[in-house]
A and B are shown apart, each in its own frame.
Chain A
Amino acid sequence: MSLKNVMENWSAYRKDAEAGGHHTYEHRWAMSINLDLCIGCNACSTACYAENNLAVVGPERFAKGQAMHWMRIERYWDVEDKEYPDQGASFLPMMCQQCGAATCEPVCPVAATYHTPDGLNAQVYNRCIGSRYCSNNCPFRVRYFNFYSYYESAWPEPMHLQLNPDLSVRDKGVMEKCTFCVQRIRVAKDKAKIENRKVKDGEFTTACAQACPTSAIVFGDTMDPESKVSMLWKQHQVTRAVYKQHKEDPELRGYRIFEELNVDPSVMYLERVRDTTV
């Protein structure tokens, strides 16, 4: 990308694919997470362990902050000064937001983390040298580093038989994170290609969305205007490639976390609702 190109096409670069920006995206995988439906049950995060060969690190390493939960449920209390939390808890499923302008990407000295034509932040394990710059630069704190060869203890025989052969088991010195279940995306794309058709909305989903007992998580392709996730983004008037949403109806619940940092996250959250009239 020459400087001239950047100067001349600046506005196109700052527009997203759906808005006719320059990008040549094939898909734009995205999510919508309805925080009014999230009950904090951990089904998603356990499904993620099962799907993505996440290592259980054990209590000692957990204490050092080395847990490998690509998807975690954060829990916050909003009212600190009350005797009891009378509005319940605030649950937040947090994983890689697959940012359109990801802060992790430009700092990688070896381009191990890069942007795919699907709009994902891919992590190339065998290119990663473990500088951990990406992790330090991630505002969401969703990158996890293999400080040890966790596989040596995480899957004692015969637990290793459960490992998903569609993706690798990571070794010491490598950064890893949520991939939006890229192995499932690949299978679906390959299948569609063989059958000479487009990937259909809902023909596959991520492990977390599939498990979620309340269907709080919706996954799909925002390049497909008919997809459920596209319609949700539209319904909530959330657009990409902006650091501040300009909604016709500002009360619509869709928002993106840390979008003011101009990182263009691919996950839209819907605000939690509390009925204070009961």
Chain B
Amino acid sequence: MSGKLNRRDFLKALGLGGTATLAGCDMPTTVTLEEGKEDVVSYLLPEEYVIPGVGVTYASTCTQCNAGCGVHGRVREGRVLKVEGHPDSPINAGKTCQMGQALVQAHYNPDRIKSPMVREGGSLVPATWEKAQALLDEKLGSKANLAAGRVAWLTGTVSGHQRALITNHLESVGSNHHFAVEVVNTNVWSAVSRDMLDDPQPQISLDKAKLILSFGADFMGTWQSPVHFAGQFSRMRTAADRGALIQVESKMSMTGGSADLWVAIRPGTEGILALGLANYLIANGVSSASLPGDARDKLAAYDMQKVSNATGVSTATIERIGKALKNRAPSVVLAGAAVEGQVNGYEAVSAIMLLNVMLGNIGQTILPSGKFPLQQLEAKVGGTRDLAAFAQAAAQKQFDVVLVHGANPVFTAPASLKLDEALASVPFKVVMTQFPDETAMMADLVLPVSSTLEDWGTHVAAYQAGASNISIQQPLMEPLYDQTRGFGDIVISMLAMRNAAQYGSFKDYYGYLRNVFANLKGAGATASLSPDEFWNNSLQAGMIKIDSTPRKHTVKASIAAIDAPAADANFPLTLIPSARMGLFDGRHANLPWLQESPDQIAKVVWGSWAEIHPSTASKMGITHGDVIRIESEAGGIEARAYLTNTVHADAIAVPLGQGHTEYGRYAKGRGVNPLKIVKAAVDAKTGELALFATRVKVSKTNKNEIILRLGHSDTQHGRRLVRTVSVDALKRTKGA
């Protein structure tokens, strides 16, 4: 690296490579944190904006999932008390989910790591930052003897300037290995959208739809941007002509609970039903002009009876869905994790997207997204392909140093990937985390990072709802512990070790971001603002609107044959490792509010359970609460049987979230992790793991335990607490 900087290098360092113009910033109404002055003053003289007993609201961004919802934090006497939705956020419009509400519990969690830890003689011991820094310098500094490509970053989905810094850091150490891992993702959907529409994250407009046909997409719980879609769903339901939801899945998701028609389908056969519906639609007068020439012939093989036999959905129901699709335009057809997580997930999602093409939904309810102009800041979207790729590369001893942040791969990786063994073989593992999770416990160096509510950040959500935005995360209070550091601060310091000319001048991440914002300011309504004004306005708004170039959807439909998963007499059931709003992929198992908050459908708290259909259970003599052993080729787990008809008779569902062997007092040693027994099959096209394709067998143990749940009755005993009316009655009262 040269000692001199030109402007292009400088902008690249700031993550601003590319071209962007700003849309007009709205004048915000809330207050920003005052600049970081460090005068020592008595508590008797509070800052002028601090009135004891009066809460002040600051804007920031939620990081509990990757949707990037805007939040308002209520701060009183220097501490954050509560988080609410940011009313002006185009993503969540003032609303929050339960995970967002629990953001404060991640911040005030009693199990946070309070100082760096270094591995000495086999165990992790507390250390000073000087020691940690020296160790980093030795392994990653300018004198470190790093061959090309020997450093890897392993993160969750990461975007904004955190991502830009990671990219720049990798470049500074001569590597390009950035693995982003998320077990809850929509990557196959994105791949299909990219190939069929030339748009990896098309905008979904549920509120314009008269009918949603969702193949297992839990769009209000875990899919892309749940709070945003819940808002759209609400508008669809309250429209003059109320839109309907048909949910087709093997295990009822939270979203499925709101369905007008809920259809249980044999696991892994959703794509077949989609092709069958396409065939039905063509036979019933829907034009196939938008489809490839051979579509009719290919689809003809999926006649009603054959599809019904394969999927277990009755011909009457198939016809019912087909009629609804034909008669209610525009509709929108979605595919969720259980469809994506098959060995032919790509083909199945393609078949589902094909319905959107045939029905003319493209351009109606599926709209082009904007192309975000600052590529360095775009979300690096995590998936399970990277999980497997990392395990493989690490096992082949490709890395000397691995840096982990925002991911807990030791917990989420199926045992068959042997990721823990591979990681153990990496000579130097740095984990930057708030909590003592499973991955941190394997590290050689643990760096305690600030919580979301203590740290700076910028975020660009992968699913950009409405306008393109950079969401801003700002500290809402002083750090709780003096030995934690901001993630950006740590990366800046590592960059400065390698490239003092470019990064040495930034005191910290805050200083870096101030520089970024001084350079972001420019065109449009913001041109006349001083850098300070622009900065303060951006913080107050919690986001910056970015002008993006609209994409155009060019439809390239294709049809591939889909086979049902092969039956296996030794492993008769399919395992559904379902994620849910709340504990999510297990990252929120350390938040007591979410542990004590029931599963939305099963109503179970504080533990694991296995959902099994009563007809399947009775064949095996299993009763409610029996501890059963669930075994795949990759291993076994034990969980209490929960008899319910919300799961298909050929499936057994074990929710994600529990089964932590570390991760603090609320999570550790509670329940089981179904991901551990997932067989490492992949979707052939995308390389994503087929998480929903593992076959299992079930056997009884001689134990029976109480399943802890909210409520003692599943029925209303005729009391009509929740009254249900038909949609006709609603129409007669004009939607009141």
Contact = CB atoms under 8 A, between A and B. Distances in A.
Interface stretch (A104-112, A113-121, A122-130, A213-221): A213-221
A276 B714 CA distance: 22
Interface in B687-736: 706, 708, 710-711, 713-716, 721-730, 732-733, 736
Interface residues of B, number: 98
Given A59-B605, A158-B480, A89 B257 contact: yes
A252 interface: yes
B94 interface: yes
B320 A41 contact: no
Given A88-B262, A213-B231, A39 B727 contact: no
A83 interface: yes
A278 to B, nearest CB: 4
A272 B257 contact: no
B238 A273 contact: no
Given A39-B258, A45-B98, A88-B262, A253 B593 contact: no
B589 to A, nearest CB: 13
A278 B606 CA distance: 37
Contact of A274 (B100, B247, B324, B727): B727
A101 interface: no
A178 interface: no
Interface string A67-94: 1010011111110101111111111100
Contacts of B320: 278
Contacts of A42: 98, 581-582, 597-598, 600
Interface string B579-592: 00110000000001
Nearest to B606: A59
A276 B317 CA distance: 12
A233 to B, nearest CB: 12
Interface stretch (A9-17, A23-31, A50-58): A50-58
Nearest to A211: B96
B105 interface: yes
Nearest to A277: B727
Given A88-B260, A278-B324, A49 B593 contact: yes
B371 interface: no
B237 A36 contact: yes
B230 A39 contact: yes
Nearest to B98: A46
Nearest to A88: B259
Contacts of A82: 645
B605 A62 contact: yes
Contacts of B94: 210
A84 B645 contact: yes
A77 B247 CA distance: 16
A169 interface: no
Contacts of B350: none
Interface of B: 53, 76-77, 79-85, 92, 94-98, 100-102, 104-105, 107-110, 211, 220-221, 226-227, 230-231, 233-234, 237-238, 242, 244, 246-247, 252, 254-264, 320-321, 324, 328, 480, 581-582, 592-598, 600-601, 603, 605-607, 615, 645-646, 648, 665, 706, 708, 710-711, 713-716, 721-730, 732-733, 736
Q: 8 tightest CB-CB pairs across the interface, nearest first?
A: A213-B230, A214-B234, A89-B257, A46-B98, A90-B722, A59-B606, A275-B727, A275-B260
Given A88-B262, A207-B82, A213-B97, 9 more contacts: A50-B102, A76-B714, A77-B715, A91-B257, A158-B480, A165-B77, A272-B722, A278-B261, A278-B328
Interface of A: 34-37, 39-43, 45-47, 49-51, 56-59, 62-63, 67, 69, 72-78, 80, 82-92, 154, 156-159, 161-165, 207, 210-216, 235-236, 249, 251-253, 255, 257, 269, 271-278
10 contacts: A39-B230, A40-B258, A73-B598, A77-B714, A84-B264, A84-B646, A156-B110, A158-B110, A276-B727, A278-B260
